[in-house]
């Protein structure tokens, strides 16, 4: 068996299982959630993902997914607690590949969080022999407050600033919907979201029984804001000229939401007045707890602090752990 990283994660175990690649080249192709772009240039034999992920990928990219299935005889999907529709995959290949005659079980987490958050249930780890995990916050400095405490702080801030428009920044799929929920819980102020977020809201509402009522705002618009609104915008627009002008004109406050908020630099990069470490990933301790719960023979780490985290597992906890090299390490927070 081989596990390697090269345009997605490849698990060779009799057949080739490819997860989260931009191009489907495996015998079985997994899409863990709707954050990455999937083109499927070659029509794959099988695409495995959840129904909400298929709907969200289509809504976000305009692409039509080939026929998907939410599991096969060898692949079982489990909610991974990252965003709506996100799934971890347990791969149990048909055939013995262990010295004792059994078949190894491979757990691919995709992006994941073990915390129950608003409308999402956290990932519940399952047993496996080989764990392939994302380690975005795989350094001990990345420890976040308890979820209830963090959400209460955010609601307090939202309620404490009634006289100025509030501009909240988060990714269009994930943080943006949670911010809408928190805003609704904290106040009855009008809620306005960027067009791109409205599009994701619509796709989620079609694919699930969740609902996110909010007016939409296109880039370049906003002169008509009355000043009592809470406006939710995609993170990448935090420093755009349009947003900067809008915030200044209405004397608004800007808030950024990400696990990277534990770094002071996050606040300056986004030009935020305030930041909160609200995330859709595990913090360092939750990553360690996940490894201990899965109790694998081997751990492969990818994304973020993959080297630091595998070193920690090997040095302090005695695991056979190694980073998957060769991919593009991205320190973003999808």
Site string for Zn ion, 93-112 (x = CB under 5 A): ------------------x-
Nearer to Zn ion, 98 or 330 (CB): 330
Stretch that binds Zn ion, among 23-31, 32-40, 100-108, 117-125 (CB under 5 A): 32-40
CA-to-CA dists, residue 166 to 153, 215, 229, 253, angstroms: 15, 15, 7, 5
Question: What's the CA gap between 286 and 147, in Å, rounded?
Answer: 12
Q: Is 20 in the site for Zn ion (CB under 5 A)?
A: no
Q: Is 242 in the site for Zn ion (CB under 5 A)?
A: no
Site string for Zn ion, 168-197 (x = CB under 5 A): ------------------------------
Q: Is 250 in the site for Zn ion (CB under 5 A)?
A: no
Nearer to Zn ion, 34 or 217 (CB): 34
Q: Is 157 in the site for Zn ion (CB under 5 A)?
A: no
Nearer to Zn ion, 114 or 161 (CB): 114
User: Which backbone phi and psi does 246 adopt, to 5 degrees?
Assistant: -60, -45
CA pseudo-torsion sign 258, 260, 262, 268? negative
Question: What's the CA gap between 241 and 261, in Å, rounded?
Answer: 23
Q: How far is the CB of 120 from Zn ion (least distance, A)?
A: 13
CA-to-CA dists, residue 26 to 10, 14, 18, 68, angstroms: 8, 12, 5, 14
Q: How far is the CB of 83 from Zn ion (least distance, A)?
A: 6
| DSSP state letters, 28-51 | EEE---TTS----SS--SEEE--H
Stretch that binds Zn ion, among 33-41, 197-205, 237-245, 260-268 (CB under 5 A): 33-41
Nearer to Zn ion, 35 or 254 (CB): 35
**Contacts with 150 (C-beta within 8 Å, 6 or more apart), sequence order:** 144, 276, 277, 278
Q: How far is the CB of 103 from Zn ion (least distance, A)?
A: 29
Q: How far is the CB of 304 from Zn ion (least distance, A)?
A: 12
| DSSP state letters, 297-326 | SEEEEEEESHHHHHHHHHHHH--EEEE--S
CA angle, corner 265, sides to 263 and 269, nearest 5? 135
Q: How far is the CB of 250 from Zn ion (least distance, A)?
A: 32
Cα-Cα end-to-end distance for the chain? 29
Q: Is 119 in the site for Zn ion (CB under 5 A)?
A: no
Nearer to Zn ion, 84 or 131 (CB): 84
Q: Is 134 in the site for Zn ion (CB under 5 A)?
A: no
192 neighbors 258 (Cβ within 8 angstroms)? no
Q: Is 79 in the site for Zn ion (CB under 5 A)?
A: no
Nearer to Zn ion, 35 or 178 (CB): 35
User: Site residues (CB under 5 A) for Zn ion?
Assistant: 35, 111, 334
């Amino acid at each position: 068996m081989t596990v390697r990283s090269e345009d997605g994660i490849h698990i060779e175990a009799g057949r080739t299982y490819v997860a989260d690649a931009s191009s489907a080249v495996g015998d079985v192709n997994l899409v863990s959630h709707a954050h990455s772009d999937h083109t499927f240039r070659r029509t794959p034999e099988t695409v495995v993902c959840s129904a909400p992920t298929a709907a969200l990928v289509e809504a976000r990219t305009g692409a039509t997914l080939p026929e998907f299935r939410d599991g096969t005889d060898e692949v079982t999907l489990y909610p991974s607690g990252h965003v709506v529709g996100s799934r971890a995959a347990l791969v149990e290949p048909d055939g013995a590949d262990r010295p004792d005659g059994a078949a190894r079980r491979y757990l691919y987490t995709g992006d994941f969080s073990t915390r129950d958050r608003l409308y999402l249930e956290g990932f519940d780890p399952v047993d496996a022999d080989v764990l392939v995990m994302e380690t975005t916050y795989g350094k001990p400095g990345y420890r976040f407050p308890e979820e209830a405490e963090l959400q209460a702080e955010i609601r307090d801030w939202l309620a404490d600033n009634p006289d100025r428009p509030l501009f909240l920044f988060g990714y269009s799929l994930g943080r943006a919907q949670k911010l809408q929920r928190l805003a609704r819980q904290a106040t009855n102020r009008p809620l306005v979201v960027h067009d791109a977020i409205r599009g994701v809201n619509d796709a989620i509402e079609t694919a699930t029984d969740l609902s996110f009522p909010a007016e939409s705002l296109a880039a370049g618009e906003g002169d008509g804001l009355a000043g009592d609104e809470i406006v939710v915008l995609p993170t990448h627009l935090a420093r755009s000229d349009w947003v900067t002008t809008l915030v200044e004109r209405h004397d608004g406050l800007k808030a950024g939401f990400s696990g990277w908020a534990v770094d002071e630099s996050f606040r300056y990069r986004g030009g935020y007045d305030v930041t909160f470490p609200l995330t859709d990933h595990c913090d360092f301790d939750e990553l360690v707890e996940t490894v201990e719960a899965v109790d694998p023979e081997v751990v492969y780490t990818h994304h973020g602090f993959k080297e630091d985290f595998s070193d920690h597992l090997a040095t302090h906890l005695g695991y056979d752990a190694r980073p998957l090299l060769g991919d593009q390490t991205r320190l973003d927070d999808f």
